Structure 1
């Protein structure tokens, strides 16, 4: 039975500092995380573990004494445990279908970390979990390994075993309440943890690009850093809604003075004009050639239709056009069911835009894979280009509003 946790003794603290130094030398980009963890002695634990508050629980018998791990192995295990915190395995576990298999996730998360550590030549104790041990290919994510491991019915460890709540599995029985300080150091908040992860990601990127740091950055770790430092991704659906809503609102706001209906304001001897706003007309031009799929087209049309309804655009004032490369013409159709995707490529969407403008719309929305020439001069109507393709859209007019839609997402 484990004894109560406590601060490290003088000898234990000295041994830990040496192990941490070795860990920092082998993985210098982990420096911020290694020094952010709060070390705690957990007699009888039999391993190292972390909680979600960045506290590191270590069996002191593995640091000092006859049964202590070799210093290089202890340093490798320290890097491993910190890896759970850096990669936010606890947060990612919360995104798995519930109820989750704690044991399968711990194996999967361990494999994701150890795969990179072994590739970097970092020493680890014998028998650590690897992708190959789970029957998986190397270089994957914990979520990939979890699917295989949970389906294979790997045995569940006893509750409380494993790497702790910081790895997204069971909380170890020795874990302290979230509000308890250790040796004057409190737990890290979620915001502080995110800041540490970002510092580590920057250091990893610098090392991978040949800047600061020693050693080789494993491919999986470099991929993780790129994901942390990448700008936040906004759903194309949200962007498309905003673009259509904005274009319709601008068109609806183009009010004119008219004497057809005099103003209600009364000025003796003067007839004042009333303000009249247009009933917005919208043309939707669909490219039936190229690489667009029916599911992607349906998704884009659903977003457009929903915004138009919410904006109060009369259904009768929404005209739909099918643009076919084979005939080089644009055909008005009554609904989306009348559009057939014929494949091929090279559609000239200028033909469809011209056909739509003949009906004098206020807004023209084009759904295309982007492989088309575009008008050189601004159209009378406000033009929204929804480009459905892999990679960023190219060649759309800078005076139009362009929305990039990634197929299948």
Structure 2
């Protein structure tokens, strides 16, 4: 492959754009379930780069010499390369590279990631240029994960083979598949908001939706029995559609313990009870940790059932009890749309759900802060459809969002946040 140049990216010419349309249609014919991704990629010309690459924002950097002209790939080969580069984005190789022991070898990761992709493409009958990396070529088994290939390649490396981490995908100077594959950026890589032919880069949220649409199409294709869907691609689709999740109650217990531990660790010195360790002529203070007080604010106008509300609350109270926090050191408040003033209750079972929405949980958090003595930790149990305070309250804030994962992304940065699925109380 040729060495990368410093040529800056530019829009495709009319001839290049027409050739790219043909290549994209060929790629679609080979792997029709990739349609949502193939038609979302934003092509950019990088003359002299020597290969094709992607960035994190779904821009495809194309060396036009491989698209048109005497040295161009065939339409089927170019279509296969297009599917290859799309796979780097689908399989989030850039994010996965961050999980490798740092600093990682860009050249080795490029081989590992390419091998993870290419065996699936070849199994699906996709045509690729001669000499592409496969698991067999690097001494590994087919249909494995890039992380496993990377580890085996690193183990096989000679100690004097050179170190990497900051070069291009091949630290020897060869061009790589770009930042979208977890490698060095293409020379002159465009910023996210830069528009090419009126189209800006695709953000993470939109990219996630595209991945899901493709995963659903792959699953449907595998279920229909038409064509060949490689095993590695089916495994990827299943991972997207049924991602592994840490049990919500474990996350909630962890966050509650964290908030309590942070507060309990605020040790103060006091002369009320002098230290038993004294020096001649000196009276030394003793250290005293606070007896942690917790306020729990329940959103009783939220669109959730009693079972949902009590599911989160039971986990919270279990953690507090194990930490020795109970009795008058735990205060329950309810906050709803009908009453502007939060109500103090003795038992969670006495909370009355008023229905509807529109509760401003800032009022409940402020009421908890105004308690005397004030709490050290305030835990809010809500469906999250509420405004949140702009500033951190005096107490450490824990937000428990029930049945609304999207709302969990809108809680303030100074809060600890956990989500509880709807129906968990059942």
- Aligned equivalents of 1:109, 1:201: Cα separation in 2: 19
Structure 2 counterpart of 1:139, from 139, 143, 153: 143
What SS does the corresponding residue of 2:47 show, helix, strand or coil? Answer: coil
User: What TM-score does the superposition give when structure 2 sets the normalisation length?
Assistant: 0.56
Q: For residues 299-323 of structure 1, what are the alpha-carbon distances to aligned partners after superposition, in whole Å with 9 as ceiling and x for unaligned?
A: xxxxxx9775325489xxxxxxxxx
Q: Which residue of 2 aligns with 1:229?
A: 241
Gaps of 5+ in 2: 162-169, 258-317, 328-424
Structure of higher CA gyration radius: 1
- Aligned equivalents of 2:50, 2:60: Cα separation in 1: 13
What SS does the corresponding residue of 1:66 show, helix, strand or coil? Answer: coil
Q: For residues 193-250 of structure 1, what are the alpha-carbon distances to aligned partners after superposition, in whole Å with 9 as ceiling and x for unaligned?
A: 1111011101000001017xx52110000000001000551238707949xx9xxxxx
CA contact (8 A) 2:53 2:62 kept: yes
Q: Which residue of 2 aligns with 1:97?
A: 101
CA positional deviation for 1:100: 1.2
Q: Hey, which bits of structure 1, 4+ residues long, moved more than 3 A?
A: 239-242, 305-308, 311-314
What SS does the corresponding residue of 2:39 show, helix, strand or coil? Answer: helix
CA positional deviation for 1:57: 0.5
Q: Which residue of 2 aligns with 1:374?
A: none
- Aligned equivalents of 2:203, 2:29: Cα separation in 1: 27
CA contact (8 A) 1:241 1:307 kept: no
Q: Which residue of 2 aligns with 1:309?
A: 322
RMSD: 2.8
After superposition, residues 4-403 of structure 1 pair within 5 angstroms as 4-153=8-157, 156-158=170-172, 161-210=175-224, 215-230=227-242, 233-235=245-247, 238=250, 241=253, 309-312=322-325
Q: Which residue of 1 aligns with 2:290?
A: none
- Aligned equivalents of 1:108, 1:67: Cα separation in 2: 27
- Aligned equivalents of 1:17, 1:229: Cα separation in 2: 30
CA contact (8 A) 1:139 1:220 kept: yes
CA contact (8 A) 1:198 1:228 kept: yes
What SS does the corresponding residue of 2:84 show, helix, strand or coil? Answer: helix
- Aligned equivalents of 1:9, 1:187: Cα separation in 2: 19
CA contact (8 A) 1:26 1:215 kept: no
Count of equivalent residues? 257
Q: Which residue of 1 aligns with 2:269?
A: none
- Aligned equivalents of 1:79, 1:130: Cα separation in 2: 15
Q: For residues 253-280 of structure 1, what are the alpha-carbon distances to aligned partners after superposition, in whole Å with 9 as ceiling and x for unaligned?
A: xxxxxxxxxxxxxxxxxxxxxxxxxxxx
- Aligned equivalents of 2:9, 2:156: Cα separation in 1: 36
Cα distance, 1:120–1:104 mapped onto 2, change above 3 Å: same
CA contact (8 A) 1:116 1:218 kept: yes
What SS does the corresponding residue of 1:36 show, helix, strand or coil? Answer: coil
Cα distance, 1:308–1:150 mapped onto 2, change above 3 Å: farther
Cα distance, 1:109–1:307 mapped onto 2, change above 3 Å: farther
Gaps of 5+ in 1: 246-304, 315-400, 403-409
- Aligned equivalents of 2:171, 2:24: Cα separation in 1: 28
User: What TM-score does the superposition give when structure 1 sets the normalisation length?
Assistant: 0.58
CA positional deviation for 1:160: 7.1
Cα distance, 1:3–1:207 mapped onto 2, change above 3 Å: same
